[in-house]
Amino acid sequence: MNHTIGTTADVQKRIYENKKNHGFNITDISMEFCLTFGELSEAYDAWRKRKGSLGEELADTVIYLLGLAEINGIDLGVEIDKKMLVNEGRVYKKDKNGVPVRQDQ
């Protein structure tokens, strides 16, 4: 299978349509957060136990996040870009334990 991924907005719409077409939840936001957390837990378990399915579990987690964004009318690609600009401009200094601490706090 060879797909062009498209923009984040395109992927979000595709995820939403897939959820709708299969009768999955598209209204209970709390449940979507819980299911997203479950997928992240599965990813951690795959990593911890070296199961070989880490990529698939990470993909499931991102699919749920993008679905949540679409349900809530948020273009996650735009939000990630804005947040990365903020993060890239932050200044950190390591404390006495070697832990990076943000300097603008």
Could you read off the pLDDT of 18-68 as tens digits, one per residue? 999 999 999 999 999 999 999 999 999 999 999 999 999 999 999 999 999
Give this prediction's pTM. 0.88
pLDDT grade for 96, boundaries at 50, 70 and 90: very high
The count of domains in the chain is 1
Average pLDDT of the residues in 89-94: 96
Q: Which helix (H) or strand (E) holds 61?
A: helix 54-71
Q: Does the residue 86 lie in any domain? A: yes
Q: Which domain holds residue 94?
A: 8-102
Residue of 11, 23, 2 whose CA lies nearest to 62: 11
Q: Does the residue 1 lie in any domain? A: no
Q: Is 73 helix (H, G, I), strand (E, B) or coil?
A: coil
Residue 102, beta-bridge partner list = 92
